[in-house]
Chain A
Amino acid sequence: MSVEDLKEIMEGLPPAILPAIAHWEADAEQLTIQVEKGALPMLAGHLHRKHHARLISEHVADERREEGCFILYLVLILPRDKGVVTCLAEIEPLYGSFPSITSEIFAANWFEREVQDLFGLTAEGHPDPRPLMLYDDWPADRYPLRKDFDATVPIPRVPSHYAFKRVEGEGIFEIPVGPVHAGVIEPGHFRFSVAGEPIINLEIRLGYVHRGVEKLSEALPYAQGTFLAERISGDNGYSHSLAYCQAVEAAAALQVPERALFLRTVYSEMERLYNHMGDVAGIVLDTAFTPGAQMAYLLRERLMGLNESVSGSRFLRSLNCLGGVRRDIDHVASLRINAFLVKAKLDFNDFKMKVLGMPSFLDRTETTGVLSLEAARQLMVVGPVARASGIDIDVRRDRPYAAYKDVSFNVPLHREGDVQARFLVKCEEVYESISIIEQALDQIPAGPISVHMSAVPEMLARFSLVESHRGELMHWILTGAGCPHRHKVRDASFMNWPALEVAVPGNIVPDFPLVNKSFNLSYAGNDL
């Protein structure tokens, strides 16, 4: 979008905000507004209501050494890629507080609680200021993302109590589930308040796999950061490392060779394919129709075998590097992929026909776990969850990266917002992914697959969005000397977890696993 449009946004600001704006600048794709922190809620509310801006991230960087204060970054994106608006506000270390924007943009809820935990800054006026990321027995005065936090010192454990929301009334009781589950699942605690079988309220408590990824990244040279990014969330490791590479490459103003861009597109879609296959199989499995689920699990296994034969890794590990990719797909491998996909498409057709032709499956999934369009908009969910509730967003189309602008594809959209809609969106995306891989392999240009990485200038803020199989994920990097000064990661799961709390009430307890599976969120990606 053009600079003029972004300038127009500035001109349209309500007069009350204008005195609070210290500085602003607009370039081809980004509008940066530096504002006094007190005006932040008003500015955010205006951008959200008037321009339908969607919150991508709200985070803080500790710049006390450089600027003498913390800086709050609010990253908003305008719909259909009309540009990005970043609002900055200084937070004086002395007062250590900032006004909460949660009442203006509800999706900021978890972001602000995270900032409170990790930086020790208070979000004033936040409706629910309980801890989010750090676990209950973390001492109150240690803030891990502050620069003066020493990660090598052992942390004492302080007993404390987390107050769950209480639902009271006759016949209401609580079911605590997890964090240790019966299957091989990541840890998370679910607190149900139920009246018999119907669920009145669900509260999700995460953070059990908080590993301090963002802190670790601040000590890792850029070249090694790709491997750290890969390990943020196991099954979308490729997307994470791609987003990290793109953010660093943007900071270094590096031009990645064309062939590498196409290869990145192919690898991204291969990742989406095997994951979607696992997702749809999981949904079918949770309705106890195992033979159907097994058809898709078999395909997933074969796809991972294909990953290994093409890239040397079943999970597509270590493929990205700054400036390109490490591994080429030669002509023989490309033929093999094409031949495989033709067969996979037929097998997937069989699976879809079998499952969707079964009334007992349809009966379980229809109207189960409905996420309304209204709630989805408020919570600013992303990915297949958003597309199943009628929100038409897809980073690959709206803000093309890699070679997505050179291939054509549809963005499947459903409006029902139930388990079935999410199932169908994922099924339809499988076909689109197959088509994208085929197109990319057809058009792939010859040439080098990577270029040498140039030096990364210091104190530059760049970010990158990637559509993983769970939806839009973001890596935001403020560059430092040889490694990131601040590295903010936001997985798609972080936006979608709160939506699960909304979709579940009203359903009955035995349907919860099915709803949960249809969201298929990452715990590790959320906890970081």
Chain B
Amino acid sequence: MSDLFLDLTFSLLQTLFMLALAPLIIGIIRKVKAKFQRRRGPSIIQPYYDLAKLFHKGSSQSSTVSWVFHIAPYVCLGAVLVASLMVPFFITNTLGVIGDLIVVVYLLAMVRFFMTLAALDTGSAFGGMGSSREMMISAIVEPTMLLAIFTMALITGTTILSDISFNLASTGLDLVHPSLFLAAAAFFVCLMAENARVPFDNPATHLELTMVHEAMVLEYSGKSLAIMELASWTKLVLFAALMANVFFPWGIATEVTAQAIIMGIVAILGKVVLIALVIAVIESSMAKMRLFRLPNLLTVAFTLALLGVLSYYIL
């Protein structure tokens, strides 16, 4: 009983932590990108101000929208937060009992599903374009993501995310297997694709015709835009947490002691910021790919994940 209570407390704490941290991570990415562009750039806490501003603003919407458009922001943020309950952040105590990696992956698919529905709902041409592109990308991203995390499930013998972290972190280097790196590489490509980063999408563009993610939230304003933005920022942190704790969980707290938890917080902050830096460097060092070349890159990721699974059995 007390175990469940601990799990519940910690997963709530971790979810809140991810939610609170998300704007900061976005701020850091933007700041680093600005430095690469020889700009000073806004402060790293600017996204918090943006959210506060949006929450105070009125909202307007197209006259054709139905209830889907109105509930989509809450569904998206809700699904991301529920998924966060099952993902270890600084400690391996999570609500793993209510769902494993498959539930997490499909909760994220639900975010995408409602976002594309809402975009179609507005009746705007850009929404339709954004939706069709998002679906094209996700058709390959989804199986890749599953395969990559499955590789880790094979290595550690469990599909529950916190147990994957726990097993890896507590066993030390014995479980390190070549397929871990293949799967990690595949997952990183998914991270970039799912979070609409260059070379898949350009989060900083004003060109409606080139947008993928931005085109889908184009019709949102005010509070609902703030919730949509917060949902996608939290999703980025969630992906970073998956990357950090499923593939390289070392440093995460595996027992409930103050020392371990502080250590875990420092470790995860370091890892998430490191991932943010890598994203910023990649975004600053290449052009966006042509839309129809994206499947090539995604198929490479899929192949890597597949090799990860195969090499687990062969090696």
* Interface residues in chain A, defined as those with a beta carbon under 8 Å from any beta carbon in chain B: 173-177, 181-183, 196-197, 284, 286-291, 294-295, 298, 358, 360-361, 363-364, 508-513
User: Given the complex of chains A and B, what is the CA–CA distance between A352 and B256 in angstroms?
Assistant: 56
B1 close to A (CB within 8 Å)? no
One digit per residue, 1 when the CB lies within 8 angstroms of any chain A CB and 0 when it does not, for chain B 258-292 equals 00000000000000000000000000111111111
- A286 and B207 form a contact (CB under 8 A): yes
- Closest Cβ of chain A to B218, distance in Å, is 8
| Inter-chain contacts of B289 with A (CB < 8 A) | 360, 363-364
B39 close to A (CB within 8 Å)? yes
| Inter-chain contacts of A175 with B (CB < 8 A) | 125-126, 129, 209
- A298 and B204 form a contact (CB under 8 A): no
| Inter-chain contacts of B286 with A (CB < 8 A) | 289, 358, 360
Max chain B C-beta neighbours (<10 A), residue from A196, A286, A287, A294: A287
- B39 and A182 form a contact (CB under 8 A): no
User: Given the complex of chains A and B, what is the CA–CA distance between A286 and B205 in angstroms?
Assistant: 8
* Interface residues in chain B, defined as those with a beta carbon under 8 Å from any beta carbon in chain A: 33, 36-39, 125-126, 128-129, 132-133, 198-199, 202, 204-210, 284-293
Max chain A C-beta neighbours (<10 A), residue from B126, B208, B293: B208
- A364 and B288 form a contact (CB under 8 A): yes
| Inter-chain contacts of B36 with A (CB < 8 A) | 290-291
Known A290-B204, A360-B286, A513-B210; judge A197-B39 contact (CB<8 A).
no
9 additional contacts, CB 8 Å, given A291-B284, A513-B210?
A173-B125, A174-B125, A288-B204, A290-B36, A291-B37, A363-B289, A363-B290, A364-B290, A510-B133
- B205 and A512 form a contact (CB under 8 A): no
Q: Indicate which residue in B38, B129, B209, B287 contacts A289 across the interface (CB closer than 8 Å).
A: B287
| Inter-chain contacts of B291 with A (CB < 8 A) | 197, 508, 510-511
Max chain A C-beta neighbours (<10 A), residue from B126, B209, B286, B291: B209
Known A290-B204, A509-B209; judge A298-B287 contact (CB<8 A).
no
User: Given the complex of chains A and B, what is the CA–CA distance between A200 and B170 in angstroms?
Assistant: 59
User: Given the complex of chains A and B, what is the CA–CA distance between A298 and B128 in angstroms?
Assistant: 37
Known A182-B208, A288-B198, A294-B39; judge A509-B288 contact (CB<8 A).
no
| Inter-chain contacts of B287 with A (CB < 8 A) | 284, 287-289, 358, 360-361, 363-364
User: Given the complex of chains A and B, what is the CA–CA distance between A363 and B292 in angstroms?
Assistant: 12
Known A175-B129, A363-B290, A364-B287; judge A290-B210 contact (CB<8 A).
no
User: Given the complex of chains A and B, what is the CA–CA distance between A511 and B289 in angstroms?
Assistant: 10
User: Given the complex of chains A and B, what is the CA–CA distance between A196 and B131 in angstroms?
Assistant: 12
- Closest Cβ of chain B to A4, distance in Å, is 54
- B284 and A510 form a contact (CB under 8 A): no
Q: Indicate which residue in A196, A284, A358, A508 contacts B290 across the interface (CB closer than 8 Å).
A: A508
- CB pairs A–B below 8 angstroms (25 shown): A173-B128, A175-B125, A175-B126, A175-B209, A177-B125, A284-B287, A286-B207, A288-B287, A289-B288, A290-B204, A291-B36, A294-B37, A298-B38, A360-B286, A360-B288, A360-B289, A363-B289, A363-B293, A364-B287, A364-B288, A508-B291, A509-B209, A510-B210, A513-B207, A513-B209
| Inter-chain contacts of A360 with B (CB < 8 A) | 199, 286-289
- A288 and B202 form a contact (CB under 8 A): yes
- A510 and B209 form a contact (CB under 8 A): yes
Nearest 8 CB-CB pairs, A to B? A288-B288, A287-B287, A183-B206, A288-B202, A289-B287, A360-B287, A175-B125, A510-B210
User: Given the complex of chains A and B, what is the CA–CA distance between A288 and B203 in angstroms?
Assistant: 9
Nearest CB in chain A to that of B129: its residue: A509
- B209 and A177 form a contact (CB under 8 A): yes
User: Given the complex of chains A and B, what is the CA–CA distance between A349 and B292 in angstroms?
Assistant: 32
| Inter-chain contacts of A284 with B (CB < 8 A) | 287
- B125 and A176 form a contact (CB under 8 A): yes
- Closest Cβ of chain B to A122, distance in Å, is 35
- Closest Cβ of chain A to B238, distance in Å, is 24
- Closest Cβ of chain B to A347, distance in Å, is 12
- Closest Cβ of chain A to B11, distance in Å, is 37
| Inter-chain contacts of A291 with B (CB < 8 A) | 36-38, 284-285
- Closest Cβ of chain B to A58, distance in Å, is 33
- A287 and B288 form a contact (CB under 8 A): yes
Q: Indicate which residue in A197, A288, A358, A361 contacts B205 across the interface (CB closer than 8 Å).
A: A288
User: Given the complex of chains A and B, what is the CA–CA distance between A181 and B206 in angstroms?
Assistant: 9
- Closest Cβ of chain B to A199, distance in Å, is 10
User: Given the complex of chains A and B, what is the CA–CA distance between A63 and B288 in angstroms?
Assistant: 56
| Inter-chain contacts of A181 with B (CB < 8 A) | 206, 208
User: Given the complex of chains A and B, what is the CA–CA distance between A18 and B292 in angstroms?
Assistant: 58
| Inter-chain contacts of B125 with A (CB < 8 A) | 173-177
Known A294-B39, A298-B38, A509-B129; judge A183-B207 contact (CB<8 A).
yes
| Inter-chain contacts of A197 with B (CB < 8 A) | 133, 291-292
- Closest Cβ of chain A to B288, distance in Å, is 4
User: Given the complex of chains A and B, what is the CA–CA distance between A182 and B289 in angstroms?
Assistant: 22
| Inter-chain contacts of A196 with B (CB < 8 A) | 132
Max chain B C-beta neighbours (<10 A), residue from A358, A360, A510: A510
- B37 and A508 form a contact (CB under 8 A): no
- Closest Cβ of chain A to B146, distance in Å, is 27
| Inter-chain contacts of B33 with A (CB < 8 A) | 290
- Closest Cβ of chain B to A195, distance in Å, is 12
User: Given the complex of chains A and B, what is the CA–CA distance between A408 and B229 in angstroms?
Assistant: 56
Nearest CB in chain B to that of A511: its residue: B290
User: Given the complex of chains A and B, what is the CA–CA distance between A174 and B204 in angstroms?
Assistant: 26
Known A290-B33, A298-B38, A363-B293; judge A182-B207 contact (CB<8 A).
yes
User: Given the complex of chains A and B, what is the CA–CA distance between A175 and B132 in angstroms?
Assistant: 14
| Inter-chain contacts of B37 with A (CB < 8 A) | 290-291, 294
| Inter-chain contacts of B202 with A (CB < 8 A) | 288
- Closest Cβ of chain A to B153, distance in Å, is 34
Nearest CB in chain B to that of A355: its residue: B287
Nearest CB in chain B to that of A286: its residue: B207
Nearest CB in chain B to that of A517: its residue: B207
User: Given the complex of chains A and B, what is the CA–CA distance between A284 and B205 in angstroms?
Assistant: 13
- Closest Cβ of chain A to B60, distance in Å, is 15
Max chain A C-beta neighbours (<10 A), residue from B133, B202, B210, B291: B210
User: Given the complex of chains A and B, what is the CA–CA distance between A186 and B210 in angstroms?
Assistant: 18
| Inter-chain contacts of A177 with B (CB < 8 A) | 125, 208-209
